[in-house]
Amino acid sequence: MIDPAVHRPVLQIEGLEKSFGALRVTNGVSLSVKPGEIHALIGPNGAGKTTLIHQIAGLLKPDAGHILFDGQDITAASMPQRARLGLARTFQITSIIPSLTALGNVALAVQAGADKPLGFWKPVDSDDVLNKPAQSLLDTVGLGGRAGVVAGQLSHGEKRALEIAMALALKPRVILLDEPMAGMGHEESARLTDLLKSLKGTYAMLLVEHDMEAVFSLADCVSVLVDGHVLATGTADQVRNDPQVRAAYLGDEAF
């Protein structure tokens, strides 16, 4: 007998609503993310993408609707509770500690994601229990040789990769990625795209992104958010060939 949980979305959004005064920013949004897939969320500026991510992460409380994580309703759960269940996120602006080394940043994230506090009163740079998994995560994201570099001295693309390593330290099942390619040149964007491809299948990801080349290279599924509601959802080919999507967002660009 096939276990239905195998095919159940790990993250499911049902009829989410959010208003600020008279402005309805999230208007009945429903979408789902399956285990191991990359689901991209695209749309024009002001469409409500980041507000939606804030609600999923627990930073904002929706006015209506439900957020389910592996079948469990987490709509009222706190951000730490969601993180413990396996929901991690990155931000539009990197959230690293610039004065710590790359290794130190990831070691702190390993400490935060541990079932029990690890060496809480010890400097992270002298705790092998933290540093060994932290170094492994840096290797995973292509920063193995940059472990001792102060994070503030890393390039923009390296800081993004470091932030992803920190998210992975929380042992997530779903990663929320809010415009990870923002501010990147073509080469850095290509490197980050390759990194996300390498993680695909192991982690489910909800990706908010304006770089359409990256989106259509990475996404198993794409949802288009316009004026707070989902205009279309489908494969990359279905979405980029949808006349409504072209009229509302993509225009006549070819990808």
Sorted by where each begins, the domain ranges of the chain are 1-86+174-255, 95-171
Q: What is the pLDDT of residue 137?
A: 96
Q: What is the pTM of this model?
A: 0.88
Pairing of β 174-178 and β 87-90: parallel
Pick out the chain residues at pLDDT < 70.
1-7, 91-94, 114-127, 250-255
Q: What is the pLDDT of residue 1?
A: 41
Q: What is the pLDDT of residue 126?
A: 58
Q: In Å, what is the CA distance from 215 to each residue of 50, 74, 218, 235? A: 16, 28, 5, 11
Q: What is the pLDDT of residue 254?
A: 47
Distance CA 98, CA 78 (A): 27
Q: What is the pLDDT of residue 130?
A: 86
Q: What is the pLDDT of residue 194?
A: 95
Nearest to 190 by CA among 221, 218, 155, 231: 218
Distance CA 226, CA 224 (A): 6
Q: What is the pLDDT of residue 94?
A: 60
Q: What is the pLDDT of residue 47?
A: 87
Q: What is the pLDDT of residue 66?
A: 97
Largest CA distance in the chain: 58
Residue 79: phi and psi, rounded to 5, are -60, -45
Which residue do the tokens 């627990």 mark? Answer: 58
Which superfamily does CATH assign the domain made up of 1-86+174-255 to? P-loop containing nucleotide triphosphate hydrolases (3.40.50.300)
> Tokens for 165?
């390593």
